A = this chain, B = another copy of it.
Amino acid sequence: MNKGLMIVISGPAGSGKGTVNAHLLATGDFVYSVSATTRAPREGEIDGVNYHYITKEEFLSRIESGDMLEYTEYCGNFYGTPKKEAEEVLASGKNLILEIEVEGARNVKARYPEAILILLLPPTFAVQEARLRGRATETEEKILERLARTKEELAFADAYDYVVYNHDGCDREAAQEIQAILQAERATLRRNAGVAERYFAN
């Protein structure tokens, strides 16, 4: 059985990451990586679904023992990807989705060069802004903060392997495009070392 592929999907608020991921998960070929965090669960969040909630001591000890595939500190809390779970998923042949931001994405790529980094974007910044305002669930301050963050993050767009645009109402097409990317990656020569040897051996 082939090992699964590790895919990092990053995208700004309003890129539709959640819906695109839901389409991928629905195929049964993907598993979503649940991050560990030291921040307290918010109302409605479930341990093991939204995050694995662990103490700072445990988090630091897991960094120490090499069990965090990548991690970052943000506003005094740690966030990271448990390595053992990730490797179990890949060994099972399923593809693993890491939904992390640009810093974490670059850390993953540094440690796992075979990881596939995908940047999911709304078609334009203007569309992103319209989507965020259309939600009407966030304060103006929060919206401006998210838009500013997008500017910061896109400065690192070149760290990604692929850019996928998520047009309005096309979450399914964006998910299909990500599946095509995985199909192509599986066919790359660099993922098929020893082509000639295997060809003649059979």
A 152-201 contacts with B by CB, 8 A: 154-155, 157-158, 160-164, 177, 179-181, 183-185, 187-189, 192, 195-196, 199-200
Interface size on A, residues (CB 8 A): 32
Q: Which residues of B contact A151 (CB under 8 A)?
A: 200
Q: From the candidates B123, B163, B184, B196, name the one contacting A162 in the complex (CB within 8 A).
A: B184
Q: Which residues of B contact A164 (CB under 8 A)?
A: 187
Query: How would you classify the secondary structure of chain A's contact residues: helix, strand, loop or mixed?
Result: helix
CB of A108 within 8 Å of the partner chain: no
Is A202 a contact partner of B125 (Cβ separation < 8 A)? yes
Cα–Cα distance between A188 and B117 once the two chains are bound (Å): 10
Q: Which residues of B contact A124 (CB under 8 A)?
A: 199, 202
Instruction: Report the minimum CB–CB distance from A119 to chain B (whole Å).
Output: 8
Q: A183-B180, A184-B184 are in contact. Are A189 and B202 (CB under 8 A)?
A: no
Cα–Cα distance between A177 and B188 once the two chains are bound (Å): 12
What 15 new A-B contacts, CB under 8 Å, besides A151-B200, A163-B192?
A119-B195, A124-B202, A126-B202, A161-B189, A162-B184, A162-B187, A162-B189, A163-B187, A163-B195, A177-B187, A181-B183, A181-B184, A181-B187, A183-B184, A184-B185
* 13 residue pairs A–B, Cβ–Cβ below 8 Å: A126-B202, A154-B196, A154-B200, A157-B195, A160-B189, A161-B189, A162-B189, A163-B187, A163-B192, A177-B183, A177-B187, A181-B184, A184-B185
